[in-house]
Structure 1
Amino acid sequence: MVTIDGVELNPDAYRLDSWRGRPMLVRVDGDCWPTCQDMNVGPNEEGAFVITYQPGRALPVAGQIAAGEYACEIAKACVGADCALPQQVANMSRNGVDIQLVDPVETAENGLTGLSNVDLWIRSVNPARRAQRSRVASVDTYRGRFS
Structure 2
Amino acid sequence: MLQPTPCELWPFDPSCCLLPEDTSEETITRWRRVATSILWMASGRRWGPSCPVTVRPCRRSCLDDYSGAVRWGTAGPWIPYLGRDGKWRNARVCSCETDCSCTELCEVRLDGPVHDIVSVQIGGETLDPASYRVDNGDLLVRADGACWPDCQDMAAPCGEPGTFCVTYRTGLPLDEAAIAAFSALVCHLVKGCGGGSCGCNLQRNRNLSRVSRQGVDLEFEDRTAMYADMRTGLPEVDQWLVLVNPYRQPAPSRVWSVDYKQPRVTTWP
Q: State the TM-score, normalized to the length of structure 2.
A: 0.36
Query: Structure 1 stretches of 5 or more lacking a match?
Result: 39-45
Among 83, 90, 97, the residue aligned to 2:200:
83
Query: Structure 2 stretches of 5 or more lacking a match?
Result: 1-117, 264-269
- Counterpart CA distance in 2 for 1:7 and 1:53 is 17
**Counterpart code for 2:229:** N
- The one-character-per-residue Cα deviations of 1:86-143 (angstroms, maximum 9, x if unpaired) are 611322426242322123222221111121221122112223323334455678xxx6
- Aligned twin of 1:37: 157
Residues 1:93 and 2:218 aligned together = no
Larger Cα-atom Rg: 2
- The one-character-per-residue Cα deviations of 1:1-34 (angstroms, maximum 9, x if unpaired) are 116588642233586899xxxx797886445767
Residues 1:124 and 2:243 aligned together = yes
**Counterpart code for 2:127:** L
**Counterpart code for 1:2:** S
- Counterpart CA distance in 2 for 1:76 and 1:82 is 8
Structure with the bigger RCO (C-alpha within 8 Å, sep 6+) is 2
- Aligned twin of 1:113: 232
SS in 1 for 2:170: coil
Distance 1:95 1:79, change over 3 A: closer
Among 162, 165, 178, the residue aligned to 1:63:
178
SS in 2 for 1:129: coil
- Counterpart CA distance in 2 for 1:2 and 1:118 is 35
- Counterpart CA distance in 2 for 1:53 and 1:126 is 25
- The one-character-per-residue Cα deviations of 1:43-91 (angstroms, maximum 9, x if unpaired) are xxx86x9854322101221111001111222233334454334611322
- Counterpart CA distance in 1 for 2:178 and 2:133 is 31
Residues 17 and 25 in structure 1, CA contact (< 8 A), matched pair in contact too: no
